[in-house]
Amino acid sequence: MLNEISGGVCAAQGFRASGVHCGVKAGGNPAKNDLALILSDRECTAAGVYTLNRVKAAPIYVTMDHLEDGVAWGIAANSGNANACCPQSHENAVLMCQAAAQATGREETDFVVCSTGVIGQTINIAAIQAGMPAAAAALSAEGSDAAARAIMTTDTVKKEAAVSFTAGGKEVRIGAIAKGSGMIHPNMGTMLCFITTDCAITHGMLENALREVSAKTFNRVTVDGDTSTNDTCVVLANGMAGNPLIEWMDEDYDAFRQALHHLCRQLARAIAGDGEGASRLVTCKVSSARSEESAERLAKAVVGSALVKAAMFGADANWGRVLCAMGYSKAPFRPEHVDVAFSSAAGSVLVCRQGEGLDFDEGLAKQVLTEKEVVIAVDLHEGEDCAECWGCDLTYDYVKINGDYRT
């Protein structure tokens, strides 16, 4: 049985976290945490997925190197600077790991390192080095909230979740924190997401589960169509739950994968709903498709369309934009078979049947599209597969936020 629990990255046994202010960004808010640290009491099996953007930030290369042996002890992360495309970026990512190691008594290679913020500006590594001892001293089993806030940039709310389930007669817990608001169009795993679990699982099974789940959760989110240079999702598993080691795709593996999917789906939806300047979460559900792949491609095209997003902001039931986005998605479908409906807590309205517009209640449609969460339901009437993707509306505030992001 799957249960949602509290605790975030500290929900699982043997994990502590912290978040402190060290002044990464010049002139930044002194009350805003900008340095996060997560540490396990035991060595962890570790796996990660990363951005497919050809321009990758230095912390990704350092993390990939450190996880080559499939193990880690902790994560060090900062907001306020992406440490990407700037002088000494690789050296500074290594120095950040060294600072974490010195402050915790571990080794440099024991740490995953991540950065998020402005691209192209040299990171204030001195501030991070000076702040790391405070981050280590603040490590606590109640530290998930502080860590979650430390990795926020333009996020308006923290993203944190945890679940528990049973494997081999033992309670197993998985927790996570994530950040993401703008430059969200992942094609790997996520924006930044740190997952911890006390599950005993092999590296191969952990990596397989993470890749499978990421593809069906974080990779189905789009806010603005921009794939970040720093996208990273890492999971650490310390085995302290005491369950029999998961080394095959058996019943316990399925339970772990399902719990991980539930957790990551929750965070993916939170990221989409907190898109920069967004006023509502937009979900596109495509059903009766020829394949799951084609359903996903169609759904992502719809939630990624600037015209659809603008219509959602204006609560305008302009369903023609939905079909237009589907048409350029390059996924196979027959327009003459398509039904489109809009739904929310306010009700549901069918606006298109078999590719043609219907007379519908504009007043009801307006009510439906004014809710905080809106669903665009597309029925292809062609097969048995389905997929859902998440996005948000496009508001004036998105332009305001990104018009002067560096300042």
Q: Identify any residues that bridge with 235 across adjacent strands, giving them in sequence order.
A: 47, 195
Amino acid at 331: A
Distances (CA, A) of 150 to 50, 104, 110, 145, 153: 20, 19, 21, 9, 8
Among candidates 191, 196, 158, which has minimal Cα distance to 176? 196
- Distance separating alpha carbons of residues 98 and 109, to the nearest angstrom: 8
Phi/psi at 56 (5° precision):
-110, 140
**E strands in 168-280:** 170-179, 192-197, 232-237
Task: Pick the catalytic residue from 45, 153, 190, 232.
Answer: 190
**Tokens matching residue 190:** 């996520």
Cα(370)–Cα(193) distance, integer angstroms: 30
Whole-angstrom distance, CA of residue 340 vs CA of residue 380: 9
Residue 217 annotated in active site: no
CA distance 168 to 254: 12
- Residue pair 158/149 in contact by the 8 Å Cβ criterion: yes
Q: Please tell me the distance from the alpha carbon of residue 325 to that of residue 300, in angstroms, as a whole number.
A: 9
Q: Quick one: tokens of 62?
A: 């350092």
Number of H helices, E strands in the chain: 11, 15
The DSSP element (H or E) to which 149 belongs, if any, is: helix 144-150
**If you count them, how many residues does the chain have?**
407
- Tell me the C-alpha distance between 271 and 218, whole Å: 9
CA distance 277 to 299: 22
H-helix or E-strand containing 244? none
Contact 15, 196 (CB under 8 A): yes
Tokens describing residue 141:
């089993």
Q: What is the spatial distance between Cα 161 and Cα 155, in angstroms, rounded to a whole number?
A: 16
Q: Which residues does the annotation mark as catalytic? A: 190
